[in-house]
Amino acid sequence: MSSAIHLELNNVSKRFGGNQAVDHVSFSVTKPELIGLIGPNGAGKTTLTNLMSGMLKPSSGTIYLNGRRIDGLAPYDVTRAGLGRTFQITRALSRMTVMENMMVPGLALHPGMQQAELEERAHEILDLLTIDHLTYEYSRALSGGQRKLLELGRLLMLDPAVVILDEPFAGVHPRLQETIYGYIHRVHDDGTAIILISHDMGAVFELSERLIVLNYGALIADGAPQQVKNDPAVIDAYLGHDEDD
């Protein structure tokens, strides 16, 4: 959807008290890639997501999106700059209808646009996600999987350049998983960069064109899936972690 993509993280760190949650992470995204972000539990994936989306301020380091510095911006400004995200635990606006859930980002990002036009788009997206029959239902009445879909749908209303999908497959029915696959391909084909965080290794390896691996907050590998798979540091991180458990 957007043409130019340039997301750049330089030495981003975050400390909580004495705990280094994210440790000097640098990488950049310059084309509409599908990137898998993986790592053992507690590796700092969610913290990194929160840093990129403005929910947390980095202790040090900078983040640029399309030439604009976005670290330290409020989450809504980051969203306006073109970075959208979903949450690990779905956060549907529960006492609002599905349509209103779609229109919040629509109207917030495109105040000048005709409401009818936005509604038209919302209908299209809901149709794609197979939840169009729930358009006027309150979102609290939706099942867990349907809420996931709704979250993904809301993202599309933002016209983002980069989206971060935090565990989109967790606790989702296999049939809906297919729908989400279709959605990811569609978003990718539209020219949006996707950062996919998931514990479902099968899905990550199947979908991603590039893998970024975190361990103890530090970036330990960044490259094509096959290459990363055989990286001794990565194998060590996963196996070593299992022993800790």
173 sits near other proteins (criterion: CB under 8 A): yes
Find residue 10's DSSP bridge partners: 62
Q: Does residue 36 contact residue 196 with C-beta atoms inside 8 Å?
A: yes
Phi, psi (deg, nearest 5) at residue 223: 175, -165
Binding other proteins (rule: CB under 8 A), the pick from 7, 125, 146, 194 is 146
Find residue 244's DSSP bridge partners: none
Phi, psi (deg, nearest 5) at residue 186: -65, -45
Q: Coil, strand or helix: which one is 134?
A: helix
Q: State the burial class of residue 41 (Cβ atoms within 10 Å of its Cβ: 0-12, 13-18, 19+).
A: exposed
Least Cβ distance, residue 46 to other proteins (angstroms): 12
154 sits near other proteins (criterion: CB under 8 A): yes
172 sits near other proteins (criterion: CB under 8 A): yes
**CB nearer other proteins, residue 141 or residue 224:** 141
Binding other proteins (rule: CB under 8 A), the pick from 74, 201, 224, 233 is 74
State which of positions 115-144 bind other proteins (CB under 8 A): 119, 130, 132-137, 140, 143-144
96 sits near other proteins (criterion: CB under 8 A): yes
**CB nearer other proteins, residue 39 or residue 84:** 84
Half-sphere exposure of 46 (CA within 13 A, CB side): 9
**CB nearer other proteins, residue 100 or residue 222:** 100
Please choose, from the candidates 91, 83, 114, 76, the residue with its C-alpha nearest in 3D space to the C-alpha of residue 9.
83
Find residue 68's DSSP bridge partners: 65
91 sits near other proteins (criterion: CB under 8 A): yes
46 sits near other proteins (criterion: CB under 8 A): no
**CB nearer other proteins, residue 10 or residue 231:** 10
Q: Does residue 12 contact residue 44 with C-beta atoms inside 8 Å?
A: no
Give Rg (Cα) of the chain.
Answer: 18
84 sits near other proteins (criterion: CB under 8 A): yes
Query: Which parts of this chain interact with other proteins (CB under 8 A)?
Result: 13, 15-18, 53-55, 57-60, 74-76, 79-80, 84-85, 87, 89-97, 99-100, 103-105, 107-109, 111, 119, 130, 132-137, 140, 143-148, 154, 158, 170-173, 175-176
